[in-house]
Amino acid sequence: MSNLRSAFNKFVARFVAPFVLTSFILLSGSAPTFAQSALRIAATVNEDMISLFDLNARMSVSIYLAKLPATNETRRRLAPQILRSLIDDNLRNQEAKRLGITVSKEELNAGIRAWEKRSGVARGGMASLAQRLGIDKSMIAEQIETGLLWRKTIGDLFLSTVQISDKEIDDILLEEISKKGQPEFLISEIFLPFDGAGKDREVNALADRLIQQIKAGAKFAAVARNFSQSPTASVGGSLGWNRLGHLPVELEQVIKQMGAGQISQPVRTHEGFYVLNLRQKRAIEPFVEKSSKPTMVSLYQIHFALPNNGSHTDTAAIMDKARDVSQQARNCTDMETLGKKVGSPLSGSTGKLAINQLSPKMLSVVNSLVVSQASQPITSGNGVIVMMVCERIDATVKKIDRATLRDKIRAKLIDERMNLSAIQFLRNLRRAAIVDVRL
């Protein structure tokens, strides 16, 4: 019970601000009732406690970063997945402690800076974000520290066991050369597991909700970092470049039907649901390397406002005007001239931006356009837009030799096997753990 008492004391020490709780916590009572509710145990993991306060703090950060609506319904749907993440984090921390693995202050500070950059938070802004959400900054720092501890743990346990033979590399190299010109796909994933009978419907509903939010503007990478239960969550769900034959059959069947920039519907497997984002598609070129930096584009859009409560006739008339503009525009100078005639303040140039900053819907449109080609009218919010790519700066391309390609193959194999080891090891920790969920 010493671990429970220690966790309780730690919680009391940092419980210094009112906090928005989920719908299963009663806020209508007095301050003592509020504190008692927050102190309720959500789960124990080998006698370590996870309180409702811990659960809600993690949910608040995740909802904010993924730009999801901060409603009770959102919290209710997310609670099982967030609690699973907290349980897994406890198991990771316990294993690191057992092995005597630690993170230095310098390593943690570097991890916090990297987290701020990935999350779109200003440098040094973690503390102000925590304050805005009504939680202690140490709760975010602990999550970051857990990630650092886990990477060290997996490295210490498994890196020395990964053996890549020259024959394996040779076989893959020959496959790369033989498949030149065939398609490969840049994919990101969100993986939501389900545990036990009857849980698949609830997880499927959560996947649907996340997809809706991504299509409404939430960033896929942010949602993946905060909700995916795959090792790829730490890199925004990125699976890198993959070709047919390298992914599970259920996922490949979906990927083959998708266009660049599209988000899949939930894909069911025997372990859970996947949400896939096909970011790019290209032909395999074994001895060509593209920069990891995204393609940059400069866009011009002409916006046509739709009237509030307008009739179908009104909407059809505006779509006709937009089609006329699309047919007339031959370059971005034309777009600017026509945009001034339309007169909408939402018309104009976007300036240069990374293509991965676009919403999935806009990305799909932009990927289909060549420079100076106007799009067909697209409904967007309370209006209709016509878009044109004024400039496209593709990632730098360079040729690589056989030795460099072999090194890349070796690095990818090591990464894949380390990820597989992490999945299997965490699964074993779960099976061996005594977990008591009390919600």
Nearest to 11 by CA among 52, 62, 44: 52
Task: Please tell me the predicted confidence (pLDDT) of residue 106.
Answer: 97
Mean pLDDT along residues 178-193: 92
Of the candidates 300, 413, 423, the one whose C-alpha atom is nearest the C-alpha of residue 366 is 300
Average of pLDDT values for 384-409? 91
Give the pLDDT score at 244.
Answer: 86
Per-residue pLDDT averaged across 99-112, rounded?
Answer: 97
Cβ(386)–Cβ(374) below 8 Å: yes
In the sheet where 272-283 sits, what is the strand order?
A: 238-243, 183-193, 272-283, 267-268
Mean pLDDT calculated for residue range 337-356: 86
User: If you average pLDDT over every residue of the chain, what do you get?
Assistant: 86
Cα distance between residue 383 and residue 344, in whole Å: 10
CA geometry: angle 124, 350, 291, nearest 5 deg: 65
Tell me what pLDDT residue 292 has. Answer: 65
Q: How confident is the model at residue 389 (pLDDT cuts 50, 70, 90)?
A: very high
Count CB atoms within 10 A of the CB of residue 183: 13
C-alpha to C-alpha distance for 170 and 13, rounded to whole angstroms: 58
Average the pLDDT over 182-188 and give the result: 92
Centre a 10 Å sphere on the Cβ of residue 283 and count the other Cβ atoms it contains.
11
Mean pLDDT of 379-405: 89
Q: Against a cut of 0.85, is the pTM above it?
A: no
Q: Is the pLDDT of residue 18 over 70?
A: no
Percent of the chain predicted with pLDDT > 90:
57
Angstrom distance (rounded) from CA 351 to CA 358: 13
Which of the four pLDDT bands, split at 50, 70 and 90, describes residue 22?
A: very low
pLDDT at 21 over 60: no
Q: How far is CA 76 from CA 24, 30, 63, in A?
A: 8, 23, 12
Residue 232: CB partners within 8 Å, gap ≥ 6?
Answer: 188, 189, 191, 224, 238, 239, 419
Region 406-416 average pLDDT: 93
What structural domains does the chain harbor? 2-159 (1.10.4030.10), 184-291+399-432 (3.10.50.40), 296-393 (3.10.50.40)
What confidence score (pLDDT) does residue 26 get?
Answer: 31
Dihedral, CA atoms, 70, 89, 239, 405, nearest 10 degrees? 150
Query: Quick one: pLDDT at residue 81?
Result: 87
For residue 198, name the pLDDT band (cuts at 50, 70, 90). low
pLDDT of residue 196: 61
pLDDT band at 73 (very low <50, low <70, confident <90, very high): confident
pLDDT tens sequence across 129-165: 999 999 999 999 999 999 999 999 999 999 999 999 9
Tell me what the mean pLDDT of segment 367-371 comes to: 89
Q: Residue 343 burial (CB < 10 Å; 0-12/13-18/19+)? A: exposed
For position 39, what pLDDT does the model report?
Answer: 67
pLDDT mean over 109-123: 92
Buried b (16+ CB within 10 A) or exposed e, 16-50: eeebbbbeebeeeeeeeebeebbeebbbbbeebbb
Measured from the Cβ of residue 137, the count of other Cβ atoms closer than 10 Å reads: 16
Q: What is the sign, positive or negative, of the torsion defined by CA atoms of 397, 403, 406, 408?
A: negative
Q: Locate tokens 């050369």: which residue?
A: 177
Helix, strand, or coil (residue 437): strand
Q: Choose the weakest-confidence range: 6-10, 347-351, 386-390.
A: 6-10
Overall average pLDDT of the 165-180 stretch: 94
